[in-house]
Amino acid sequence: MANASEMVQLLTALSSGQNQERQQAEKMFQTAKAGNPDSLILGLMAIISDESVDEALRRQAAVLLRQLVTKGSDKDFAFAKLQPNVKQEIAAELLRRFESMTNQKMQQKVGDIISKLAESVCDQDDQRGWLAPGQCGWPTLLQAIFRLADCTQNTNTVLCEASIRLLKDVVDAFKTEISAAQAQLGGVVQNSLQHQDVKIRCAGFVLVCELVGILDKKVWAPLTVTGPVLTQVLVQLCQANLQEEVQECLQQYLEIASVEPDFFKHQLLQSMEPAKTLATLVKTKTGLEEGIRNMAMEWLTVYCEKKPKWLAKSLPAFAGLALECCMDLMLEVEDGPDALKEWAERMDDEEGEEDQDELYHNGEEAIDRIVEAIGMEAVGTALFQLVGHFSSQDKWQAKLAALTAVKQTVEYVEDHSHVGEMAKLLLAHMDHPHPRVRCTAAHAMGQLANDQAPHFQDAWHSTVMPKLLQLFDDSVDRVASMSMSAFVSFGEELDNALMAEYAPTFMGKLVSRLQSSKHRMVLEESITSIAVIAGVIGKDFSLYYDVIMPLLKQLVLNAKGEKESRLRGKAFECLSLLGLAVGKEKFLPDAKDAIGLMLQTDLGTDELLREYIKEASERICKCLKNDFAQFLPHLMPSVFKSLKLEGEEAGAGNVATRADDDDNEYVEITGADGKLVKVRTSKFEELVSAVQLIITYCDEMGGSFFDWIQSTAQALLPLMASTDEAMLLCDEARSAAYIAWSKLIKCARTGALERNQPPTLANELLRTFLQRVVVTVQSETDPDTLKDVGNGLSECLKNAEPGSLGGQEVGQLAEQLFKLIDESFIREAAEQKSALEDKASAPAELQADEDEEDDEESENQCRQCMEEALGGLMQVAPEYFATSVLPECAKRLQAWLGSKQHRILAFFLGCDLILHLKELSQPVWQVLIPAVLQGLGDEDADVRTPCAYALGLAAPLPSFAQAAPDAFRKLGTLLGGPVPKKRDDSGKIAMDNCVSAMLLLARHQHAACPQDVPAWQLVVNKLPIRDDEDEAKKVHKALVELLTEQNAGLIGPNNAHLGKVLSALAEAYKQEGLSNDELDIEIQNLFKRFPVQILETCAQVFSEKQQKKIQKMLTMA
């Protein structure tokens, strides 16, 4: 192999177009790599240096050599097999070749090899690549690079540039050494940035950025003084029209903005640079590649995302400048009849859609991200001025930009008057002569409906719905389909009673379009629109069912074209939604046909259609419940097949190019048998989908799934308990499998009860989970993995039979859970200490500010899941827990409540103790209840929520009477205070929990309510509650019960509260999230029991929508 001609022959054969010749060469290469790596590596080095060899072969040799010195499996890491003296010889020779190489491209290739080798020889945790036994590192490399990168000593500008770039590439490997070499490093940086050759200045630029990205903040802090110079270099590169180098520098700028945005703070405060320069690039319409303008925009956007609070406080003009750039980019839309024709005929799922008008789309995305990051309060004025300015211009592109800005930002608008102004602007442009303006107006209307529901629908339906119907017949099919899409968004949140009035007209139009149109997008959106109407009006859709169902079946049978996958999927989707709407009795015969069509569909690698069919089968299961069992023999074999992570054995492939493959379709993993196998990345998604199907089947079928439990458990167990590399990559599927296992336990309990059998299978499943999953994580340190196990254990315990675990088992599990929580605290403390040490020496302007990210969320979630598992133990064995584990809980509460960082965990534990142990939890109340009352006043909504929830849990217990007066006062203060803002999700959920707690206190502890706290009035003023859906259903159910009991406090003196309470129940009726099927029936029966004259006296309180809903309730059978 050392013979040069043989090596040339081998390299030539490896690139051969003849399979047999190439495969034979690959086999020879693999044999040499395994049995004679010295000769192979030395032979490749000889080819790299031989200028008489064709340059393509030399580059190929360099690629292969880079592979061989790169850390990897023992099979591929050939450098590790060499003797120390050979390793040292190769390292030294690479340096010599790098310094002497005259071919610039080959010099770069050798530099790439050196940087990869540096990673291997400097790895403290892997000795295989070390140059000498017991000696980590490459002592001569860094000094050689410093010498060659010093442009005051090295007059060879090509070599100097290459050396600076090589220094950049080894920063990570030599982080400690470079940090200690401040003087040499400073000299290289300063001299390169001042050099007369602009390419050396460019190399200096990327070196500085790499240093900032990798070194500790205290080390790179002095480099902030280079900020103005870096901006100057960027300008000089633009002036020299070196656009490739400009893109490289912008990419480096972007990385710094992402990982160390503080680097730019001082320069921004001094001069608004580099923002001004980058904004100029964004707005430069000629002479610059689009990629440069896009990257400049991306830097402005990323900086807004990384430092939103600091910018709003210290540099408010930054966001306005960024928004101007977004609007400028959104003007970049091709004009002319040919461009319009191409746009109108292109389907939205066809390749090239996003590539067309790329600048426009990037501006569109950026304005959304900027407003989301900075907040409407800070940018609203600037944004509305820009929208007004652009919408008032005559050019259609300007109007398009204005409407796009509305579409992208309406989500963040809180003021209803602003929403109204946006709606008027959109309506005014839905008749615009240019199709793209009409289309975007419709698109924005749909987005507005999504983001401002249901208030927007309630207030604007009479204006918007006729306009959308008119656009269904637009002369441009793409506009018509977009108007249908907008109807889907608007209609999904339109009230049942209102939709019932519009349904005849809209159904007539949609059926007509479905039967007459040949345009795929019109057909797709017609189907989805019909599905929305069915979903909203429910059983009333029976009027249209017999016409629509045959059309859908026909579409499924006929839509088999290459580009009709989504159309077919939407037909399946609509089929299943119609079933949910009309109910099992009417749908069952068609359900059999639908399942048959699904089973006949050859999915191949069509992931989109696979997902549509999976979701449709879940809906059919939800509709049919127990009757779905008849389809399981046909469906479960494919589910079990999807749960097997099978791959094809990975061959050598084309070794000449494998390292440079950018094919993300496959991933190579080592299986349990040690073989390297190649698995499609889509297989991991298929695994998750299969597990989710099992969860749905269990949820909807309950005990009817009993006969499939054991085979399903057998199929799930390898996914949950395996430790090989393949399964470890399936973290999402494994997490879902834990939940599926808990569902199997529940089905086993229900099925056994229905069959009059003991819960033997449920208990076996629980013990299997404990033995095969929980035991294996005792040495686990990854918080995300532990979180998943804790969550799975919690769900398994909650679904288990009470008493299914013995006292000793409960005690051991509790001890293990507390241990895992303690270990999480230790990991978190170590991370915090390391972070503090890193920032200790940084200057004041680089210290943490209001935008400092919280890196502790994973550990917090891990601990919360372990605490939830403790709650599961309480549920399984409450008496044992109260006598044997509660004392330890008391100690933990005392300790955790004393820490601001850990008190939320304490409140969660307190909630579970009250929920599951009831009065048995009283021994901890002396510590818990005062802390809960104090926590209600905390500024952190995530603290207030569990505190309010705890009071709601304690309120029904007689022994809570002593603390009730203080609870009334604390809750009264919160309920009478300011309303949380629209985007303050945590604040809104905390408020809902306060309303729920006050209702429970008023109901169960009314005698303890202080006279100055109008408890019932405060509750009524907040109705209905919407944000915490669990609490919403509980509160609305309680209102029905209290009205049925004619509770005087809720009704109020002279029925003062009655209208508002009935209004809230009418609002909740048939609203997913606020009510459920059972509660809907209770609400309907309640309204029917009320005398008509009483309802009429309350009518002035009801909105138009509520009046229609009440009327419908009263007339329904």
The DSSP code sequence of 712-772 is HHHHHHHHHH--SHHHHT-HHHHHHHHHHHHHHHHHHHHHHHHTT--SHHHHHHHHHHIII
Q: Is the dihedral of CA 428, 429, 430, 432 positive or negative?
A: positive
Give yes or no for a contact between 105 and 59, defined as CB atoms under 8 angstroms apart. Answer: yes
Q: Is 660 a residue whose pLDDT tops 50?
A: no
- Collapse the DSSP code of 36 into the 3-class scheme (helix H, G, I; strand E, B; otherwise coil) and give the result: coil
What pLDDT sits at residue 652? 44
CA distances from 619 to 548, 608, 610, 954 (A): 18, 17, 14, 38
Q: Is 841 a residue whose pLDDT tops 90?
A: no
Closest CA to 402 of 368, 439, 440: 440
Give yes or no for a contact between 532 and 449, defined as CB atoms under 8 angstroms apart. Answer: no
Reported confidence tier of residue 848, pLDDT bands at 50, 70, 90? low
pTM: 0.86
**Residue whose structure tokens are 């859970």:** 817
Residue 658 to residue 323: CA distance in whole angstroms: 43
- Collapse the DSSP code of 880 into the 3-class scheme (helix H, G, I; strand E, B; otherwise coil) and give the result: helix
What pLDDT sits at residue 668? 61
Average pLDDT, integer, range 434-447: 98
What pLDDT sits at residue 778? 79
What pLDDT sits at residue 664? 54
pLDDT in tens, 665-712: 666 655 545 555 566 777 788 899 999 999 999 999 999 999 999 999
Q: Which long-range contacts (CB under 8 A, 24 or more apart) does 598-604 make?
A: 598/572, 599/634, 599/635, 601/568
pLDDT in tens, 1010-1028: 999 999 999 999 999 999 9
Average pLDDT, integer, range 462-475: 97
Report the mean per-residue pLDDT for the chain.
91
Q: pLDDT above 90 covers what percent of the chain? A: 80
Give yes or no for a contact between 510 and 530, defined as CB atoms under 8 angstroms apart. Answer: yes
Paired tokens of 717: 């167990």
State how far Cα 58 lies from the chain centre. Answer: 44
Q: Is 851 a residue whose pLDDT tops 90?
A: no
Q: Is 1043 a residue whose pLDDT tops 70?
A: yes
How many of the other CB atoms lie within 10 Å of CB of 56? 11
Residue 860 to residue 840: CA distance in whole angstroms: 25
Q: Among 596-600, 616-620, 1003-1007, 1018-1022, where is mean pLDDT lowest?
A: 596-600
How many of the other CB atoms lie within 10 Å of CB of 282? 28
Sequence-ordered list of residues with C-beta below 8 angstroms from that of 384, at least 6 positions apart, any chain: 418
Reported confidence tier of residue 832, pLDDT bands at 50, 70, 90? confident
Paired tokens of 408: 């992208």
Average pLDDT, integer, range 875-903: 95
**Residue whose structure tokens are 């040495």:** 779
Reported confidence tier of residue 853, pLDDT bands at 50, 70, 90? low
Q: Is 724 a residue whose pLDDT tops 60?
A: no
Residue 281 to residue 295: CA distance in whole angstroms: 9
Q: Is 275 a residue whose pLDDT tops 90?
A: yes
Higher-pLDDT residue of 577 and 674 is 577
Average pLDDT, integer, range 419-433: 97
Paired tokens of 109: 């290739």
What pLDDT sits at residue 678? 65
984 by Cβ neighbours in 10 Å (0-12 / 13-18 / 19+) ranks as: middle
Average pLDDT, integer, range 517-535: 96
Closest CA to 420 of 384, 456, 372: 456
Q: Among 18-27, 462-471, 541-550, where is mean pLDDT lowest?
A: 18-27
Q: Is 659 a residue whose pLDDT tops 50?
A: no
CA distances from 117 to 78, 83, 120, 123, 214 (A): 12, 15, 5, 10, 19
Q: Which amino acid is residue 167, in one-letter code?
A: L
User: Which of the 8 DSSP states describes residue 518?
Assistant: -
State how far Cα 774 lies from the chain centre. Answer: 27
Average pLDDT, integer, range 589-605: 89
Sequence-ordered list of residues with C-beta below 8 angstroms from that of 237, at least 6 positions apart, any chain: 198, 202, 245, 246, 249
Angle, to 10 degrees, between the axis of helix 290-306 and the axis of helix 358-374?
Answer: 10
Q: Is 404 a residue whose pLDDT tops 90?
A: yes
Residue 168 to residue 182: CA distance in whole angstroms: 15
Closest CA to 1065 of 1016, 1093, 1032, 1092: 1032
Paired tokens of 765: 């499943």
Give yes or no for a contact between 974 and 991, defined as CB atoms under 8 angstroms apart. Answer: yes
- Collapse the DSSP code of 621 into the 3-class scheme (helix H, G, I; strand E, B; otherwise coil) and give the result: helix
What pLDDT sits at residue 663? 47
Give yes or no for a contact between 873 and 881, defined as CB atoms under 8 angstroms apart. Answer: yes
Burial annotation 1015-1046 (CB, 10 A radius, 16+ → b, else e)? bbbbbbebbbbbbbbebbbbbbbbbbebbeee
Q: Is 515 a residue whose pLDDT tops 60?
A: yes
The answer, yes or no, to whether the previous bond of 274 is cis (omega within 30 of 0) is: yes
Reported confidence tier of residue 559, pLDDT bands at 50, 70, 90? confident
DSSP notation for 413-472: ---HHHHHHHHHHHHHHTT-SSHHHHHHHHHHHHHHHHHTTTHHHHHHHHHHHHHHHHHT
Taking the CA atoms of residue 183, residue 187, residue 188 and residue 193 in that order, the dihedral angle to the nearest 10 degrees is 140
User: Which of the 8 DSSP states describes residue 562?
Assistant: T
Average pLDDT, integer, range 52-57: 91
Average pLDDT, integer, range 177-201: 94
Give yes or no for a contact between 327 and 297, defined as CB atoms under 8 angstroms apart. Answer: no
Strand order in the sheet with 676-680: 648-649, 676-680, 666-670
Q: Is 661 a residue whose pLDDT tops 50?
A: no
CA distances from 439 to 408, 472, 566, 743 (A): 14, 11, 21, 45
